[in-house]
Amino acid sequence: MKQGIHPKYEAVTVTCACGATIETKSTKAEDFSIEICSECHPFFTGKQKLVDSAGRIERFRRKYGDKATIVGK
In a 10 Å sphere around its CB, with 0-12 CB exposed, 13-18 middle and 19+ buried, how is residue 72 labelled?
A: exposed
Look at residue 13 and tell me whether its pLDDT is greater than 60. yes
**Partners of 16 in beta bridges:** 34
27 touches 9 (CB < 8 A): yes
**27-36 confidence digits (pLDDT tens):** 888 888 888 8
pTM score above 0.75: no
The top-level CATH class assigned to 10-71 is few secondary structures
Residues belonging to the chain: 73
pLDDT confidence band for 41 (50 / 70 / 90): confident
Tell me how far apart the alpha carbons of residues 22 and 12 are, in angstroms, rounded to a whole number. 8
Tell me how far apart the alpha carbons of residues 10 and 36 are, in angstroms, rounded to a whole number. 22
Pairing of strands 21-26, 10-16: antiparallel
